[in-house]
Structures are given as structure tokens and as C-alpha cells.
Amino acid sequence: MEDSKFAVYSFIACILFLGVNGESPYRFFTLKVTHGDIYPLGVKQKGILINGQFPGPTIDAVTNDNLIIHVYNYLNVPFLISWNGVQQRRNSWQDGVLGTNCPIRPGKNFTYVLQVKDQIGTFFYFPSLLFHKAAGGYGSIRIWSRPKIPVPFPTPAGDFTVLAGDWYKRNHYVLRRYLESGHSLPFPDGLVINGRGWNGYTFTVDPGRTYRFRVSNVGISTSINFRIQSHKLKLIEVEGSHTIQNTYHSFDIHLGQSYSFLVTADQASQDYYVVATSRFTPRVLTTTAILHYSNSSKGVSGPIPWAPTFQIAPSLMQARSIRWNLTASGPRPNPQGSYHYGMIAPSRTIMLANSAPYINGKQRYAVNGVSYVPPDTPLKLADYFKIRGVFNLGSIPTRPPSGNNAYLQTSVMAADFREYVEIVFQNWENTVQSWHIDGYSFFVVGMDGGQWTPDSRRSYNLRDAVSRCTTQVYPRSWTAIYMALDNVGMWNIRSENWARQYLGQQFYLRVYSPANSWRDEYPIPKHALLCGRARGRRTRPL
């Protein structure tokens, strides 16, 4: 890439934000995206590397930092990168999904300019285009509290990242062709921890000291259970929320979810298994890493600790035990000026039901009977430039239809800025669903089996439900959330099962403010990529 172009993009990025975020520090990152040989399960594959690494480098930031991230695409295909859990306040222009951004063409670059506004916690980035997520290209995001803001636990002796998930020996473009030909994905070949298979990664600890483990499920199809042999997991944070510090022997982590645990090295000095196994699968997949005591001369031994496999009840009970720490300092969601989310009456209820229809003889996945089809122009650009024919508001109903018919559509749901909504995810399938909402955190107020009804509200937790950005829905069950629509933009709501997302189980929520003010939403970036029917148009004066 030309140095002059790099300098221009850096300058534009800084100018864009100096006026509104000038008091917050800037952090600069360069991510170079290439293909390379990787061996996660001992088989040579064509993977996606970030700066020559798999997984990619960790992005570290402090609350309210401005991140200037230069992404260079050295692949021979278009590429996009997204930031799972980073809310992009007033700034869906930087979300990095196909509904908001044009892909970065081969040999080109793009500079993401974003702020981790009022956020802390554990998140990750990943490639969002062309099923690239099955080839790697992901890495951790750690957002630290400001130094003077106390956290509700002593400073750990170390901070470890655990990026775990399922893996396929087939290359990602082969898996993509499976889907595009109308077939379901095969069963995964295994699990990986930090890009490696069985005993392929080591975490070194000193006896008697306590460490933070940030665990994210970056897989594409499978929930996992995480545990460490003979050690306890003290939960401290869920996707940006400090939690009541319950202790667990093992913990279920569903697709796209992130958790932080404190682990104390309080056992005899030897090596122990760090274990991930698949949950709710017909065949249990297992992989391990090593917890190595620094003074240990004894390797791992004994059986791998047991964890539940098919049982849903213990997972549901565990999920309900996650509670928000109401006394902790730090950034908090603040719906309509009140921290008491349970005292606000939702303005409407949206019910979302997933399904797996066949349309035109091919396997598809749908939300409320609509299977999403990507448009030829990003929705955000079409909305900004008022390009007709790209999408229609109301192209997806706010409740499931009564029949079983499903159809293809570029589905966009309308919503108003500052609405306070109840969203119910209803799952009548026999698989665990995992749902993510870009641009927001939401309160998980309830989950249970069967059909949701208005009477289900009696079981809601309206006091200390955790605020997060990804939630599971168990088989033949429902999950309910409360969410303040306080972030203007075009936001992706999707399945974190990547085959389901790729074949239509997603849509966009257009949160609209008529004010057309920088107070509500940042203007289109001067250097925004333009494609489709937006190609050749002007962004705005500098």
C-alpha cells in the first residue's frame, strides 16, 4: 500500500473524531490479512492469518479509547472484519458487516475508526464475509477499566485469553460450497483452544497466585463446556458486565459468548488439563490445553474431568445463576436515564422465531419466516443516499407468521430511537440457538422451556439480570430480553451459528432518529468505501 494513502487515512480518521472525542486517548493498530498454512488438528489447511498469526493479535484498549485500526487485505477475495460486542456508539458505519460496510477489495485497505465508549470487558473480532470465520482470522479484544475506576476483585497476577471453538479439517471455501449447494454442514472434526488441538497450548502460572481467564467461543456451530482440572472457576465478567462472583466447576459457553473467570493456582504443583468439550452434540468432541505450574516437573495425569453432555437442565440453571453486580463501579448500560431497567415499561414486544425451511429445494434458515438475502448495496449506504429498491422497512414481521411458509427477502425491521423494547426469542427446534445483536447490550430477563406467553413475565428477573450482547435459547424454549434502543444506526441481529447466519437467519434493525444530528449519529466517514448502487457518489465535505 502507498505510504501517502496510509497517511491520508490516518489524518482523516483523526480529524473525524477530534471534535467529539478529543479528550480520550488514541490507539493505533495495523492488521495485515493474509493466507497461510495452519495445522489446528494436525492437518495442513489454508487459513487466514492476522499479522502472520493464528489467532490474530489481541487488541487492548481502555474505556473510551479511540481505536484507529488499519486493515490491509492481502487475500485474493474481498474481506470484512467485525467487532463482536463493541457497541459502535452512534457509529454503525464501522460495524464491519455486509449490511453496513462495503468489502475491502483484494490488495486494498480500509481504516476503521471507532470508540469503545463506556465499555469494559471481553470481546473478539472476526471475519464476517464469505464464511471466512471457518478459516480463522479472529482475535481477542480486551477493554480495561480506567486506572482510577475500581474493579470488584484484586488485580490478577496475569491475564490469559482462551479462544475456543469447533473446527473443520475441510477448508472454508469447501464448507461454503456445501451450504450454497443446499446442504447442511457436516459434524465438526474437533475443537481447538487458541488455534491448537490436543495439549497444544500451555498457560503457565505461579503457585498460590490468581489469574484471569477470558474465554470466548469463537466456533461456528457448537456450544462448549469449559473447565480446568481440579480448579474452580470464579465468574467475574460477562461481555462487559461485572457479575456476582459465583464459583463453578465447569461452565457452558455458547456460540459468540465471552466470559471472564478468576482461577487460583491452589493445587499441588504439577500440570493440569484445561478442557473444552462440545455440548448438546450427538458425539462429544474434546480438546485440552495445559495449565502448567511454574515449579512443576510432573505432567498431566488422571482422567479428564467430567462435564454434562446432553443435559439441558443444569445448563439452564447455570444460565439463570448469572447475576449483575449492582455494587461494582464502571460503565453500565443506562436505559432512558435509569439504571433500574425492570421499572421501565417496554413500549412494544418483538417476538423472533427461528426455523429451518427448504426454499426452492435448498436448505435455508429464517427468522419469522424470512430468510435474509444480502443486497447489492450495503443497507446503511442505501439508507444514507436514499437509494430505492435496496430494502423495504417492514419486510420482516415483528411476530412469527401462523403458517409454515418461508420466503427470501432482504429483511429490515423499523424501530425508533429511544424505544424500550421487549424481545422474545422463541425456539421450536431441537437445537440450541445463539443470538447476537450488534450495537447494543441487553438485559436477559428470563428463559424457560415451552411457549412464551404474557404470563411468562411473572418469572422475569427485574432486579439484577446481566447485561450482555449474546444470549442462548435452549431447544423448544424461549429467552426474553429488555433493550433500550439508544443507539441510532443499522444493526445486525443474527444467529451466531455461522451456517444459519450465512443461509438467512439474520436481519437488520434500523434504529431511526429524524433529528439528523451529530448528537444522535456520526456522519458518514469521508473515506467510506462505496460499492453497488452507491458507487460514484460523494460522501461529504471534510
pLDDT at 21: 54
Neighbouring CB atoms inside 10 A of 74's CB total 15
Q: What percent of the chain has pLDDT over 90?
A: 90
User: Which residues touch 241 (CB under 8 Å, ≥6 apart)?
Assistant: 121, 324, 325, 441, 466, 467, 468
Beta bridge partners of 407: 370
**Can you tell me the mean pLDDT for 135-143?**
98
Nearest to 439 by CA among 511, 379, 499, 507: 511
Q: Are domains 26-144 and 158-321 of this chain identical in fold?
A: yes
Neighbouring CB atoms inside 10 A of 505's CB total 27
pLDDT at 7: 41
Q: Residue 20: enclosing H or E segment and its boundaries?
A: helix 3-21
Q: Which fold has domain 158-321?
A: Immunoglobulin-like (2.60.40)
Query: What confidence category does residue 542 fall into, taking pLDDT thresholds of 50, 70 and 90?
Result: low
Q: Which fold has domain 348-534?
A: Immunoglobulin-like (2.60.40)
pLDDT at 332: 64
Summarize pLDDT for 192-203 with one digit per residue, the tens.
999 999 999 999
pLDDT at 23: 63
pLDDT at 107: 98
Where along the chain do its domains lie?
26-144, 158-321, 348-534
Residue 10 pLDDT exceeds 90: no
Summarize pLDDT for 253-264 with one digit per residue, the tens.
999 999 999 999
Task: Determine if the peptide bond prior to 55 is cis (ω within 30°).
Answer: yes
CATH architecture of the domain with residue range 26-144: Sandwich (2.60)
Query: What confidence category does residue 133 fall into, taking pLDDT thresholds of 50, 70 and 90?
Result: very high
Summarize pLDDT for 97-123 with one digit per residue, the tens.
999 999 999 999 999 999 999 999 999
